[in-house]
Amino acid sequence: MKKSFITLTLGLLIGLSSFAQSMKIDAENTKVSFKVVKDDVSGTLTGMEATINFDVNDLSKSSIKGSVPVSTISTGNKTRDGHLQAEDYFNASKFPKMEFESSKIEKTEKGFVMSGKMTIKGVSNDMRINFTFENNTFEGKGIIYTNDFDLASTKNKDDSKVLVKFTVPVK
């Protein structure tokens, strides 16, 4: 009887450990920053919410879905921040959040890459985000082109390049 109980308990623990770990973000210490390359404008976003299931040993069970409110954009220029939230740019009243949902997470030589859909201003596009996971913190970066999301139209796509970085500690 005792041996059966131990075998059952070990089996349950091994089985449970094979599921992706659900993680809660430390919102207070989460940082999202961006830089508009052409205009040399930098800023931050706050208020990230995310659902993270991450299993470094079986990435097929991993997924990340997150959003950040457009209303939290801060570039250090209140006039610019107000314009970015207006109807002709992000249209924050109609599209209050930028969202990302992974469809696949893969291991790379330098960490991980997640592929998925980025949705901004009601427009969804494929995106790849490189990231690392160390000491219970996700750190990553990606590139967004404003032309791809009907935000700002430039003749040259590279002129619409925005570098995005994030640090997301989890508990």
- Extents of the domains making up the chain: 20-169
CA dihedral 83, 86, 87, 90 (to 10 degrees): 90
Q: What is the pTM assigned to this prediction? A: 0.84
36 contacts: CB under 8 Å, gap ≥ 6: 42, 146, 161, 162
Say what the pLDDT of residue 15 is: 39
In order along its 171 residues, the chain shows pLDDT tens digits of 444 444 334 333 443 334 457 899 999 999 999 999 999 999 999 999 999 999 999 999 999 999 999 999 999 999 999 999 999 899 999 999 999 999 999 999 999 999 999 999 999 999 999 999 999 999 999 999 999 998 877 788 888 999 999 999 998
31 contacts: CB under 8 Å, gap ≥ 6: 44, 165, 166, 167
**Share of the chain residues as helix, strand and coil, in percent rounded to the nearest 5:** 25, 50, 30
Residues across the chain: 171
For the chain, first and last CA: distance in Å?
A: 38
Say what the pLDDT of residue 62 is: 96
The yes or no reply on domain 20-169 and CATH 1.10.3720.10 is: no
Least Cα distance to 151 among 87, 99, 100 occurs for 87
H or E element at residue 13: helix 2-17
H or E element at residue 168: strand 161-169
Say what the pLDDT of residue 20 is: 58
